[in-house]
Structure 1
Amino acid sequence: MDCVMPLRILEAVRLLHRMGYGGLRFNPGLSASGMFWRIALFSQDSLDVSGDATEPIGDEQCLRYSNGEGYEFNARQFPEDVGHVTVAEEILAALPKLQRSDPRNANDRAYTEWFARLLPLVKSTSGLPIAYWDSYGEDKGWKLAWPVDRYVESPPDNQAIPTPKKDEHYVLGLCDEILGEGHVSQMTFGWLRGDPSLATGKRSKLPVDGFWRTHGIVVEFHERQHSEPVPFFDDKITATGMTRGEQRKLYDRRKAELIPQNGSILIVIEQSDFPLQKNKIARDHDRDLRIVRRRLSAFLR
């Protein structure tokens, strides 16, 4: 590889998988001209697996790179000796909704095991994985190319493996039952944005966990990282110049201020509101429904 940045990105994906971020997915391919390798990185939670989509719609929940950009990644210029830990920190900063997986998630486990088999092939052949280009489909699997040319197994099908809901999705589903309306997941608003990137000046929209249009209600589900420090990554500097932990607290306060100012009701439901087992909700539908109903009752018209 003339530029090692693609390899550093793939090594960063493996590191994050090993750190517990099993929901991190990627989609690699070639540009229309066939001259450049490119990759999209995103959280599995942002992908609608009910259809044929292989990437989220829009760039708010998707991080992209092309080797035509050399060592520029997420609008930042990195040195040629950049390490995969630095790249992993950049991925986390760009995908704030990416959280650690439930160990029971069979989808994530199958995917990370597949990726663990793929990465040594990439390193031993210096070939980059390719899922698509204009004249190539996925019937025979993915390919390794530049300079090799061979097929490798495709990633596991998410729909083929039952996946337990994450606690966030479980709680938002209980809200749906109580409110009698399905929520919009990861809704964004033009008036709710993060701080400017030091490199580009861009202010990304901040998604909310669940939005119910008829009721005008926003629900944010807070896992322990909203109230407790999380080792390793919380003290890393994000694109805005703040640590990841500081940025999370600031954005939580911003949502608490701006959402009511713009005509919606904000309800925060804490993971600690529920009995926990191994840092996850010990699920009991009827009991948990009562807990959520109490949190919503003061705001229901």
Structure 2
Amino acid sequence: MSDTDKDYVLDLCDEVIGQPCERRYTFDWLRGDPPAPGREGRKLPAIGGYWPDLRLVVEYRGPHFDQPERHYANRATVSGVERDEQRVIYAARRDELIPRHGLRLVVVGSGHLGHDSKDRLTRDRANDLEALRSLLAP
């Protein structure tokens, strides 16, 4: 059993697709806000899984994805927004730029898979595989 929910989901996606993905992949064109005018932003944190031959990207966005992170509370970023707001901006940037570069983006949330009343994955492998087969179908 995988340690993290993201790894669990990607393991199941690998099984459905029949080949392993490249994990924690970064794209040179997927960048954060520049630290200063005329400078390039850093690469955004890695996406979940990437299958280059299929031009497919899978992102797992767990139950806390849209909730503020206490660790980053009120921490400003180089672009002048708080870290929680930046997470939303960067997710929107991924959602826009990944398809724009000819890649298919599939976002998997805990609501797509078996989960408990607190939205934690229950890891019901058979049902989760079926849900992912449906999500990943061309």
Calculate the TM-score normalised by the size of structure 1: 0.42
How far the C-alpha of 1:243 sits from its partner, in A, is 0.9
Question: Does 2:93 correspond to 1:230?
Answer: no
Q: Show the 5 A alignment for 1:261-280.
A: 261-277=100-116, 279-280=119-120
The CA distance in 2 between the partners of 1:202 and 1:290, in whole Å, is 41
State the partner residue of 1:171: 9
How far the C-alpha of 1:186 sits from its partner, in A, is 1.3
Identify if the C-alpha distance between structure 1 residues 271 and 234 changes in structure 2 by more than 3 Å, giving closer, same or farther.
farther
- Secondary structure in 2 matching 1:196: coil
How far the C-alpha of 1:180 sits from its partner, in A, is 1.0
Q: Show the 5 A alignment for 1:117-136.
A: none
How far the C-alpha of 1:234 sits from its partner, in A, is 4.1
The CA distance in 2 between the partners of 1:234 and 1:288, in whole Å, is 33
1:85-140 superposed Cα distances (whole Å, 9 cap, x missing partner): xxxxxxxxxxxxxxxxxxxxxxxxxxxxxxxxxxxxxxxxxxxxxxxxxxxxxxxx
Identify if the C-alpha distance between structure 1 residues 266 and 227 changes in structure 2 by more than 3 Å, giving closer, same or farther.
same
The CA distance in 1 between the partners of 2:42 and 2:63, in whole Å, is 24
Question: Which residue among 59, 66, 79 is the counterpart of 1:220?
Answer: 59
- Secondary structure in 1 matching 2:13: helix
State the partner residue of 1:240: 79
Q: Which runs of 4+ in 1 moved over 6 A?
A: none
Q: Show the 5 A alignment for 1:1-301.
A: 164-198=2-36, 201-206=39-44, 207-277=46-116, 279-297=119-137, 300=138
The CA distance in 1 between the partners of 2:28 and 2:12, in whole Å, is 28
Larger Rg: 1
- Name the structure where strand makes up a greater proportion of residues: 1
- Contact preservation (8 Å) 2:33, 2:78: no
Q: Unmatched 5+ residue regions in structure 2?
A: none
- Secondary structure in 1 matching 2:107: strand
Q: Which has the higher contact order (CA 8 A, sep 6+)?
A: 2
- Contact preservation (8 Å) 2:23, 2:48: yes
How far the C-alpha of 1:202 sits from its partner, in A, is 4.6
Q: What is the number of residues matched between the two proteins?
A: 136
How far the C-alpha of 1:196 sits from its partner, in A, is 1.2
The CA distance in 2 between the partners of 1:271 and 1:209, in whole Å, is 14
How far the C-alpha of 1:281 sits from its partner, in A, is 0.8
The CA distance in 1 between the partners of 2:107 and 2:74, in whole Å, is 24
How far the C-alpha of 1:295 sits from its partner, in A, is 1.2
How far the C-alpha of 1:235 sits from its partner, in A, is 3.2
Identify if the C-alpha distance between structure 1 residues 289 and 219 changes in structure 2 by more than 3 Å, giving closer, same or farther.
same
Identity of aligned residues (%): 35
How far the C-alpha of 1:296 sits from its partner, in A, is 1.1
Identify if the C-alpha distance between structure 1 residues 229 and 189 changes in structure 2 by more than 3 Å, giving closer, same or farther.
same
How far the C-alpha of 1:239 sits from its partner, in A, is 3.2
- State the one-letter code of the partner of 1:174: L
Calculate the TM-score normalised by the size of structure 2: 0.86
State the partner residue of 1:12: none
- Secondary structure in 1 matching 2:72: coil
Superposed CA RMSD: 2.2
